[in-house]
Amino acid sequence: MAPDYSEVLEALNRRVKEQGGNSTAGALAAHVRTSRMVSLKLEELLKSDEWNTFLSHAKALLEVDEAERDRVRENLERGGLPPDELFKVSNQLQRILGRIEARREDLELPRAVIQQDKDFQVAYAKTLDKSGDKPVTE
């Protein structure tokens, strides 16, 4: 479930404050502009041959990890492993699951940042006064 835009704006205000600034209209506007520039660069990246090369490589690694996960799970499900071997295989499975999660997050990161920017843009637009050019701050 996507956050409502008040939550997005609160997160944006928090981020600006954490970076040592205050959430003035100018600081918010600058943060939103920076977010937009990053988002545009990521959109370009997702259309590039370099991204497609990375994507192919990352998906291949993910497939290898998923196949290894399946083999290790089968080994665990067969049972009969001595306690020390069971411990090693269980740890191996946890490492594999961690790699799988990290690879999936790598693949989704650009889209997640782009979506965050879209949320920031909408939330920021909701802070503008009726003239459309002056942010309303708390």
Q: What is the pLDDT of residues 81-133, one digit of tens each?
A: 899 999 999 999 999 999 999 999 999 999 999 998 888 888 777 777 555 55
Total-model pTM: 0.68
Q: Which of the four pLDDT bands, split at 50, 70 and 90, describes residue 21?
A: low
Q: Are 62 and 100 in contact (CB under 8 A)?
A: yes
Residues 6 or more apart from 125 whose CB is under 8 A from it? Answer: none
53, HSE (Cβ side, Cα atoms, 13 Å): 3
Q: Is the pLDDT of residue 59 over 60?
A: yes
Q: Bigger pLDDT: 116 or 15?
A: 116
Residue type, 118: K
Q: Is the pLDDT of residue 58 over 80?
A: yes
